[in-house]
Chains A and B, each alone.
Chain A
Amino acid sequence: MGLEMEPLLLAWSYFRHRKFQLCADLCMQMLEKSPYDQAARILKARALNEVVYIEEIDVDQEGIAGMILNKNAQVPRPGTSLKLPGSNQTGGPSPAVRPITQAGIPITGFLRPSVQSGRPSTMEQAIRTPRIAYTAYPIASSSGRFFRLVMASMLTSPDGPFINLSRLNLRKYAQKPKLAKALFEYIFHHENDVKTAVDLAALSTEHSQYKDWWWKVQIGECYYRLGMYLEAEKQFKSALKQQEMVDTFLYLAKVYISLDQPVTALNLFKQGLDKFPGEETLLCGIARIYEEMNNISSTTEYHKEVLKQDNTQVEATACIGSNHFYSDQPEVALRFYRRFLQMGPYNSQLFNNLGICCFYAQQYDMTLTSFERALSLAENEEEVAEVWHNLGHVAVGIGDTNLAHQCFRLGLVNSNKHAETYNNLAVLEMWKGHVKHMGDLQRSYIAAQKSEAAFPDHLGT
C-alpha cells in the first residue's frame, strides 16, 4: 500500500514547481473521472495559460493595415512623433557609422517583440519590412500574433481545447470573481478569443459595480488587442483613478505610443515616477521612447538611471554598450558587454559583440576566441552569417584580404540575404581588381547591385 498525494494537491505542487505540462495532464485525468470538478478545470486552465503566457506589455500588436490605414494626424509637429524620428536626431553617431535598419532607425542594442517606430509610409515598404524573428532588425509582432492565434492551443492541447468557449455561461462565471479571473486569463492568452474575453470582462466589471481596477485593465487590454486605442485609453485611465499600479501605467503608455503620442507617454511615465520613484520599468519605458525618437543622449541618461536601480538589467546595459561602441569608445563598450559575462545572457550575440569590441579596443588576444564561441553558440544560420561578416571585418583590419574573402563567402553560404556581406565582398573584389589586374569586376558590380536591391537606404552602396 503506497501513500499517494491527493491528486489535486499533487497537481498544485506541480503548478508551483512550474511543471505545467505535468499539472495539466494530472488535471486531465481528474476531469476524466469527474468532469464537473471546477478546481481541476481552473487549475488546468491556469497551467496551460502559464505555458504560453507572454508579457503583454512587451508586445505591440499592429498589422500592416493598422500601420498604413490609421486615422491619426498625418502632419505632426517636429519632435512629437515616432513616425519621423530622423528630424529629432540629437547626439549620437551618424548613420554612416552606425548601421541602420530598413526603416531608417539606428540599430538598437536590444531587441523586443514589438513594432519599432519608423512606421512605413507606403504599403510596399510595409510589406518589405522583415517579419521573421531571426533577423537582427526589429521584428513586427505579427509573427507573434500569428503564432498565438493558431498554434498556442495546438502546442499545449493537440487534441483540441478542453473548455468549450461557445457553450460557456459567462454570466454564471462573472458572479464568481476568482474563477472568472483565471478563466479570463485562459481565454485571453491561451485561446486568444478576445471577443469572449471582453464579454466576460464586461460582465464581471458590472458585477463588481465598476470598483475593481483589475477588470478595467483587462478590458483595456482587450480593446488594445482589438485596435480600439481610444476606448482602451479610457479604461486604463479609469483604472488608474481607482488604483495606481505600475502595470497600468505601462499599458497606458503603450496605448499612447500606438497612437503616436510619445510626449504624452513620456509625461505619463514621469507621473508614474512621482508615484513610484525609481521604478525600473518606468525608467526603461522612458529610455525606449527616447531611443525611438533618436534622442541618444537622453536614452543613455535614463538607461544609466535604470542601472542605478538594477545593475543587472540587460536592456540598459546592452543599449549603453552599443551607443558607446558607435560613438567610437569600444573600450567602454567592452566594459558593459563584459558585465554580461558575470551575470547575464550567454549567447551568440553577446560573444559576437565582445569579439568586435575586443578587436577595436585592441585586445587582440580575446578577439578570436570570442568569435569562436559566438559561432559555436549560434542557433541559426542568420546568426552564423552575421558572425562571419564581422570576422571578415577583423580580417580586413589585419590586412588579410584572403581571409576576409573567405569569411564573407562563408557568411553568404549561411545566409544569402545578408546585404552587408554582399557589399563587402564586392568592395574586396574591386580592391583585388585594382591591385592585381583589371579582373572580374562584373561580378563585384552585380554583387553591389544585389546589395543595393536588398538594402536601398545604405549609404556605402
Chain B
Amino acid sequence: MPKAAGKRIRRTFRKKLSNNSDMAEMKSMFREVLPKQGQLSVEDITTMVLCKPKLLPLKSLTLEKLEKMQQAAQDTIRQQEMAEKEQPQISH
C-alpha cells in the first residue's frame, strides 16, 4: 500500500513538473511585443495638493522698532482725527 501511495505521489509530482514545462512552452509561444514606433498616450491626472506648512520668519530688531513706531504714529493720527471730529460737534 505505501509503495503504491509513493508511486502515486511521484506520479503526481511528475505530472506537475510536466505541467510546468508545458506552461513554459506555452509561454514561449507568446512573444513579447514592444513596438518601437507608433503613438504613445500618457494620462496625466492633476491632483489637488495641499499648500505646505509655513515657517514664519522671525523679525529683526529694526523691523520691530519700525513696526512699533508705525503703530504708535497711526494711533496718534487716529486720536487727532477723533479729537478733530469732536471739536466741531462741541462747537455746534
Contacts and interface: CB of A to CB of B under 8 A. Distances in A.
* SS of B interface (majority): mixed
A97 interface: yes
B50 interface: yes
B70 A136 contact: no
B60 A353 contact: no
Nearest to A458: B51
A52 B73 CA distance: 11
Nearest to A158: B76
A251 interface: no
B48 interface: yes
A147 B62 contact: no
B56 interface: yes
Contacts of A98: 52
Interface in A313-357: 314-315, 318, 321-322, 325-326, 340, 345, 347-350, 352-353, 356
A322 B55 contact: yes
A322 B54 CA distance: 10
What class of interface size applies to chain B in its complex with A? 20 to 34
Contacts, number: 130
Contacts of B49: 427, 459-460
B69 A424 contact: no
Interface string B20-64: 000000000000000000000000000011111111111110110
A389 B48 contact: no
Contacts of B67: 133-134
Nearest to B49: A460
The 3 closest A-B pairs by CB, nearest first: A151-B73, A420-B51, A349-B56
Interface of A: 52, 54-55, 58-59, 97-99, 107-113, 133-134, 136, 139, 143-144, 147, 150-152, 154-155, 158, 314-315, 318, 321-322, 325-326, 340, 345, 347-350, 352-353, 356, 360, 383, 386, 389-390, 393, 396, 419-420, 423-424, 426-427, 430, 448, 458-460
Given A98-B52, A133-B70, A349-B56, 10 more contacts: A58-B62, A110-B59, A111-B58, A136-B54, A147-B70, A314-B60, A347-B59, A349-B59, A393-B53, A427-B48
